[in-house]
Amino acid sequence: MSTSTLEKQAVRTRRPRRTEGSRRSNLFVYAIAAVVVAVTLGPVLYGVLSGFRTNTDLSRNPSGWPEVFTLANYTNILTGDRFWGYAFNSTMIALITTAIVVVTGIMAAYPLARYQFRLREPLYMVFVLGLLFPVAVAVIPLFIMITNDLGWGDTWWGVALPQAAFALPTTVIIMRPFLAALPKELEEAALIDGASRIGFFWRILLPLSGPGMVTVGVLAFVGSWNAYLLPLLLLRDDTMKTLPLGVADFSTRYASDMVGIFAYTSLAMIPALVFFLALQNRIVNGLQGAVKG
């Protein structure tokens, strides 16, 4: 894309103040926006639309409008026995992952945010350095440890625990400033009223940290829902597989069923998209809070 060159032209036509020139440059902005929308949503919409076609129709004219609209591809998948099992496994693993991350992450962030002790910064650095530990590095030992040593292969917990562990750094890093920003007066008042620090945590801090919890929870949930590498190694039994594994399996097993594959991917992306659209302001605000300098 040649946005940058277009941008230069636009700048030249721009006047210093908001005058007649701004209408022209606004048109230019809308044109760019239209291109961005087309490129971004194009593949997604193409996939959804192709899911309504037949294979002969698609192969005859891949870039054309569907000649026939059929629901068969979608209904076949939804009435098949596998799809719902995959979706259920994905949901359970994502829920367990999120629960572990939110509970342990907030508990850990609390002393790191509001206690004074000598090991605080080194302890915090341990979590921050966790950002640098790629899953790929640990994946082979995790496979051996969980499948052979612990016997947790093909279980929800076996996937959720390592996923939660790798999501912890992010969680602690987002929650710490959030908890630290709650006013000191609250804590002082609670302590003067005779609450212990633990009581303060349960009765005051947790109820107030809802927004932060939602942000880290959503990130953990979507991350788990979309994960591929760890489940690929740890879930071998078809009844335990998650949706991404199901999509990948389907697309290799029925490689010739182009429209079926498109229908499958379209169905698989619905939950993450719905979830994201419902909570997108939370996510963006969380990111904003994290980025604002």
Contacts with another protein in 37-96 (CB under 8 A)? Answer: 37, 39-41, 43-44, 46-47, 50, 58-59, 61-63
Of 8-16, 66-74, 75-83, 206-214, which part binds another protein (CB under 8 A)? 8-16
With helix as H, strand as E and coil as C, how does the chain read?
A: CCHHHHHHHHHHHCCCCCCHHHHHHHHHHHHHHHHHHHHHHHHHHHHHHHCCCCHHHHHHCCCCCCCCCCCHHHHHHHHCCHHHHHHHHHHHHHHHHHHHHHHHHHHHHHHHHHCCCCCHHHHHHHHHHHHHCCHHHHHHHHHHHHHHHCCCCCCHHHHHHHHHHHHHHHHHHHHHHHHHCCCHHHHHHHHHCCCCHHHHHHHHHHHHCHHHHHHHHHHHHHHHHHCCHHHHHHCCCHHHCCHHHHHHHHHHHCCCCHHHHHHHHHHHHHHHHHHHHHHHHHHHHHHHHHHCC
Q: Which two tokens stand for residue 135?
A: 């899953």
Q: Is 72 or 125 the residue whose CB approaches another protein more closely?
A: 125
- Figure out which of the listed residues 93, 94, 113, 213 binds another protein, where binding follows CB under 8 A: 113
- Figure out which of the listed residues 92, 95, 99, 138 binds another protein, where binding follows CB under 8 A: 138
Q: How many CA atoms lie within 13 A of 186 on its CB side?
A: 16
Q: Determine the size of the site formed for another protein (CB under 8 A).
A: 130
Q: Is 72 or 290 the residue whose CB approaches another protein more closely?
A: 290
Of 66-74, 75-83, 185-193, 206-214, which part binds another protein (CB under 8 A)? 185-193
**Is 114 among the residues that bind another protein (CB under 8 A)?**
yes
Of 27-35, 67-75, 76-84, 206-214, which part binds another protein (CB under 8 A)? 27-35
Q: Could you give the string, one character per residue 187-226, with x where binding to another protein holds by CB under 8 A and - elsewhere?
A: xx--xx-x--xx--x-----------------x--xx-xx
Of 68-76, 81-89, 206-214, 272-280, which part binds another protein (CB under 8 A)? 272-280
C-alpha 130/C-alpha 120 separation (Å) is 16
Q: Is 84 or 228 the residue whose CB approaches another protein more closely?
A: 228
- Figure out which of the listed residues 71, 72, 78, 181 binds another protein, where binding follows CB under 8 A: 181
Closest approach, Cβ 52 to another protein, in A, equals 15
**Is 7 among the residues that bind another protein (CB under 8 A)?**
yes
**Is 27 among the residues that bind another protein (CB under 8 A)?**
no
Closest approach, Cβ 235 to another protein, in A, equals 13
Q: Which residue in this structure is represented by tokens 């496979």? A: 143
Closest approach, Cβ 133 to another protein, in A, equals 5
C-alpha 269/C-alpha 267 separation (Å) is 6
Q: Is 70 or 206 the residue whose CB approaches another protein more closely?
A: 206
